[in-house]
Amino acid sequence: MAKQSAIYEVLHSIIDRGGKEKLIARIERNTQWEGDCLIWVGAKKRNGYGALNFKHGGKHQQFSAHAVFATLMRCAPIPDDLEIDHICNNRLCVRHLQLVTRRENLELRECRKKTIK
Ligand SMILES: [Zn+2]
């Protein structure tokens, strides 16, 4: 599993090679609106998160779909010491994301267990 900070470089290299339209089309094919959430409907990883595979530097790399979206929205690499929280509590949503520390992520998880069914 590649580091999440590596996504930025991979996306940039795709866009630099003129692959932006193809990338957008691929994202559109693999997402669907459900109310306010943009849900990943493409391939999934074993842990239930969406998966996006890229060929970069001659090798295949797999990233979490939400980490790719978080990188695109941030326009900067996601630091490897931060985690991506799903504000809407749906791990397949690629829209309602925020960067949090490990500790914050665990606290949010506990909090939502009590407040969200
Ligand atoms: Zn959502």
Question: How many domains is the chain built from?
Answer: 1
Q: How far is the CA of 17 from the centre of ligand 1 (A)?
A: 31
Q: What is the CATH number of the domain that holds 24?
A: 3.90.75
Average pLDDT score over the chain: 93
Torsion of CA 107, 108, 110, 113, to 10 degrees: 170
* 39 or 58, greater pLDDT: 39
Q: How many C-beta atoms surround the C-beta of residue 66 within 10 A?
A: 25
What is the pLDDT at residue 116? 64
Q: Which domain holds residue 103?
A: 4-115
Distance 75 CA to ligand 1 centre (A): 20
The pTM of this model reads 0.89
Assign 112 a pLDDT band (cuts: 50, 70, 90): confident
Q: According to the model, what pLDDT value does residue 56 have?
A: 84
Tokens of residue 35, six digits: 């109310």
Q: Mind giving me the DSSP string for 66-90?
A: HHHHHHHHHTSPPPTT-EEEETTS-
